[in-house]
Amino acid sequence: MVIFSCDHEENIVPEQEINSLQIVAIDEEGLNISLLAQKPLEVGFNEMTLSIKNENDNPISGQGDIVPMMDMSTMKHSCPIEFPAGMELINGHISFNTVFVMPSGDMGSWSLNISVGDKIIELPIEVAQPDQSRMASLVSSSEDNETKYFICLLDPLKPEVGQNDLQVAIFKKQSMMEWPAVENLEIKLTPWMPSMDHGSPNNINPAHVKDGHYMGKVNFTMTGTWQINLMLKKKEIELGETYFEINF
C-alpha cells in the first residue's frame, strides 16, 4: 500500500509508524542518521524518513535537504525527490519520497547527500530492481526541445481482477540534477492483454492531482499478463507512448 496524502490530509498516518524498516544508519560529523522506509529500496517510488539526532541523542531541528545521487564514475545524476510535508526537520525527522530511476549495481551506486545546517553527509544506499516494472521513460521530440520523461507506477502494485486504482507520477529530466514534476499532461490509458489481443472496458484516464501525480482507474477482466499502456499528450500534441507490464 502506498499512502499518497495530497488530497486527504486527515488520513495521514505518522511517517514513523509506516516507515519502520531501518535501511541504513551512520554516525558521522557528530550526527546519528538513520534512514527508515517501508521496504528495502527499489527502482520506482519509495517513501522514506530520515531520523537525525546529535551525539546526545537529541533530535535535530531546522532546515534540511536531501539530494539523491547516482555515481556512474564517468558522470553523476540525481533523480526525482518530493518533500510532501516540507523540508523542515520536525522532532528530528524529515519525510521524503524518491523515484529511483535505475538500480544500484555495476553501472554505479546510489547515495543520499544530506544537508543539515552546515553539514553535508553522504549516505550510501542500495536500490534493487523489482520483479515487475515500475519505471518507464520516453523521449519526446515533438516539443521544442527533446525532452526525456520518466513515468513511475505507484498503483496498482498488487493488481487484482476488477477495478484498480491507477496512480503514476511523471517527471522530466531537465538536467542531470533537475528532475521536476510535470503537471500539465493528458494521459490516455489502454490496458492490453498481449496474448489475447484485447483490452478492458470502462477505464478512467489518469488526471493530474498534485505534484506530477496522476490518478485514474484501470480494469483487468482476468488474471494474466497485462500491459498498462500510457499515451502522454500535451495540448493535443502526442509526446509518446510507453507501458508497464504486470503479471498476476
Q: How far is residue 136's CA from residue 225's CA, in Å, rounded to a whole number?
A: 17
Name the minimum Å distance from CB 166 to another protein.
13
Name the minimum Å distance from CB 186 to another protein.
20
Name the minimum Å distance from CB 190 to another protein.
10
* Helix (H/G/I), strand (E/B), else coil: 16: helix
Q: How far is residue 22's CA from residue 91's CA, in Å, rounded to a whole number?
A: 18
Per CB under 8 A, contacts with another protein among 152-181 are: 160-163
Is the Cβ of residue 56 or residue 202 nearer to another protein in the bound state? 202
Is the Cβ of residue 175 or residue 195 nearer to another protein in the bound state? 195
Name the minimum Å distance from CB 220 to another protein.
8
The answer to whether 112 and 97 are in contact (CB under 8 A) is no
**Cell numbers of 230, please?**
500510457
Q: Is 20 a residue that touches another protein (CB under 8 A)?
A: no
Query: Which one of 194, 207, 237, 238 is in contact with another protein (CB under 8 A)?
Result: 194
Name the minimum Å distance from CB 192 to another protein.
10
DSSP 119-169: EEEEEEE--BPPSS--EEEEEE-SSSS-EEEEEEEEE-SS--SEEEEEEEE
Q: How many residues bind another protein (CB under 8 A)?
A: 23
Q: Which span sits near another protein by CB under 8 A: 8-16, 53-61, 75-83, 190-198? A: 190-198
Per CB under 8 A, contacts with another protein among 196-235 are: 196-202, 219-225
The answer to whether 6 and 169 are in contact (CB under 8 A) is no
Per CB under 8 A, contacts with another protein among 65-124 are: none
The answer to whether 22 and 40 are in contact (CB under 8 A) is no
Q: Which span sits near another protein by CB under 8 A: 6-14, 33-41, 124-132, 188-196? A: 188-196
**Cell numbers of 65, please?**
535537504
Distance in Å from the first CA to the final CA of the chain? 16
2: which residues sit within 8 A by CB, 6+ positions away?
45, 47, 154, 155, 157, 167
**Cell numbers of 96, please?**
521524503
Name the minimum Å distance from CB 207 to another protein.
18
Interface ranges with another protein (CB under 8 A): 160-163, 193-202, 219-225, 247-248
